[in-house]
Chains A and B, each alone.
Chain A
Amino acid sequence: MIPISYWRNRRSYTALMGSRCRACGAEYFPPVRVCRKCKSRDIEPREMPRKGTLITYTKLTEPAEEFGKQTPVYLGLIELSNGVKLVSTLADVSESELNEGAPVSMVIRRWTEEGPTGIIYYGYKFKVDAAYSMS
């Protein structure tokens, strides 16, 4: 990751800032400049809902080196409550809970860091709701 590009996009990474088309109401994450549905350029920033459901996941046992001690990495396909889909790392995973339709919420976690002297990159991850796993 590059510090400047992380810094520019930090509201997307830590507040799920996406975008919404003023013409047709379509919502996007990550943000877009042109609406894919109606081609309008009348786009406004929009925070995505922090809740959704898990559609499916995959487990990476040999991810990119920068993940380091975060291995194994669980990547989830999430459908947010507004219908927007995104791929996100999953947090605090207990594999038996990773069922299709499990309710998940956004949390902020460390993504990576630029070694011991560099910037720490924080961003969204999704975690299965405690109420779901306790029931």
Chain B
Amino acid sequence: MKSINPIGIHGYAAYVPSFRIRTSEIARVWKGGGAGPNESKAVACFDEDVVTMSVEVAREALGMAGGPPIGAIYVGTESKPYAVKSTGSILSDMLGFNRSLGADLEFACKAGTEAMQVVSGLVGSGMIDYGLAIGADTAQGAPGDELEHTAASGAAALVIGRADGNDIAEIKYSTSYISDTPDFWRRQTQHFPSHLGRFTGEPAYFDHTIQSSKRALSDTGTTPKDYRFAIFHQPNPRFPFDVGKRLGFSQEQIMPGAVNNLIGNTYAAGAMMALSCTLDEANPGDRIFMTSFGSGAGSDTFVIEVKDRILKRRLGSVRLKERMKKFMLIDYGIYAKWRGKIRE
């Protein structure tokens, strides 16, 4: 995808709620023992949702960007608090940007990177100067379902504007690959999603991630060795490393963004949160290869080049992986009460 103006990231932020539940605790309740594929997952508090987590990351990303005027707020999510009422509308008031486009996007776990592409398009065409792309979810699996181990909560935001020398990283390239693949879905009015177990790996996650990634490598004439970092969506701790290996990326390239083992799958925030962790460690000149995945299914790939400004802009902010070390453990009873698993 080509744009008229070069596109840059001016600020980034990610948020993980303070609470964790161990998957061994979930397995204790439903199976009498064992654990999930990951050690623990992040759980939003009873008073948190996509709006509250989005404000948190939006403010922080805007702070890093130096508070530019925002012309668009796009939120990718599958757990918006209102079925009808744009999260963007609520954020516009809380953030004070009423002269703004603002809408919600849904594409399972890739809704956040979808927001990145929409805002990039608006900036790239010159319709707006700066926009906010947010991925946020309070994801839920049905009680006792295997998804309950990984379905987690979190948010991430990027302030996207022109690559004008003030940006901390340039989005050099982007592409997508989507198809009608019924690996995971949720019907209108249903609280919990459904999934076709055997579909989630090969025809869904791996095929779309690989198709989109290969197209990006071929279009840009690059190979995995040209990148210092690689990011792939993390539905569990293993998949990003497996798909990376098949594409020729090493563990070391993927490790900086890997957070699933401790916080689970943050859905629409997932790939953007991994980008946040990676930008925390990146140096000017580093190249980042990033492919998201959303069920349904599709993948978005981005090629990002880190610029000098990152060193200055990042000063004073605490790395996400550092912040994640502070948490409070909760048991299944509290988790069920908070996340609406007990219905009156």
Smallest distance from the beta carbon of B134 to chain A beta carbons, Å? Answer: 14
- A11 lies within 8 A of chain B by Cβ: yes
Q: A-B pairs with CB below 8 Å: how many?
A: 53
* With known contacts A69-B46, A91-B45, A134–B94 Cβ distance under 8 A: no
- B325 lies within 8 A of chain A by Cβ: yes
Within 8 A of B (CB), among A64-123: 69-70, 91-92, 94, 107-111, 120, 122
* Most A Cβ at <10 Å: residue of B47, B82, B94, B323: B47
Give A133 to B52 CA distance when docked, in angstroms.
22
Q: Find the B residue at minimum CB distance from A89.
A: B47
A92 touches B45 (CB 8 A): yes
Q: Find the B residue at minimum CB distance from A127.
A: B18
CB-contact partner of B52 in A11, A94, A122, under 8 A: A122
Chain A contacts for B328, CB-based, 8 A = 92, 94
- B49 lies within 8 A of chain A by Cβ: yes
CB-contact partner of A108 in B94, B323, B325, B337, under 8 A: B94
Smallest distance from the beta carbon of B229 to chain A beta carbons, Å? Answer: 26
B93 touches A110 (CB 8 A): no
Chain B contacts for A70, CB-based, 8 A = 46-47
What class of interface size applies to chain B in its complex with A?
20 to 34
A107 touches B56 (CB 8 A): yes
A120 touches B45 (CB 8 A): no
Give A54 to B45 CA distance when docked, in angstroms.
21
B93 touches A14 (CB 8 A): yes
A131 touches B318 (CB 8 A): yes
Give A29 to B269 CA distance when docked, in angstroms.
35
B45 touches A108 (CB 8 A): no
* With known contacts A69-B337, A69-B338, A133-B326, A14–B49 Cβ distance under 8 A: no
B326 touches A108 (CB 8 A): no
Chain B contacts for A14, CB-based, 8 A = 55, 93-94
Chain A residues bordering chain B, tally (CB within 8 A) = 21
- B33 lies within 8 A of chain A by Cβ: no
- B285 lies within 8 A of chain A by Cβ: no
CB-contact partner of A91 in B47, B51, B93, B338, under 8 A: B47
Chain A contacts for B49, CB-based, 8 A = 110, 120
* With known contacts A14-B93, A91-B45, A108-B94, A120–B81 Cβ distance under 8 A: yes
A108 touches B338 (CB 8 A): no
* With known contacts A15-B94, A69-B338, A120-B81, A110–B52 Cβ distance under 8 A: yes
Give A14 to B287 CA distance when docked, in angstroms.
38
- A20 lies within 8 A of chain B by Cβ: no
Q: B35-79 CB contact bits vs A (8 Å, 1 = yes)? A: 000000000011111011001100000000000000000000000
- B27 lies within 8 A of chain A by Cβ: no
A15 touches B96 (CB 8 A): yes
A130 touches B81 (CB 8 A): no
Give A14 to B90 CA distance when docked, in angstroms.
10
- A33 lies within 8 A of chain B by Cβ: no
Chain A contacts for B325, CB-based, 8 A = 134
Give A94 to B55 CA distance when docked, in angstroms.
23
Chain A contacts for B81, CB-based, 8 A = 120
Give A11 to B278 CA distance when docked, in angstroms.
35
Chain B contacts for A10, CB-based, 8 A = 93
Q: B280-321 CB contact bits vs A (8 Å, 1 = yes)? A: 000000000000000000000000000000000000001000
Give A36 to B48 CA distance when docked, in angstroms.
36
Contacts from A to B (Cβ < 8 Å): 10-11, 14-15, 69-70, 91-92, 94, 107-111, 120, 122, 125, 130-131, 133-134
Contacts from B to A (Cβ < 8 Å): 17-19, 45-49, 51-52, 55-56, 81-82, 90, 93-94, 96, 318, 323, 325-326, 328, 337-338
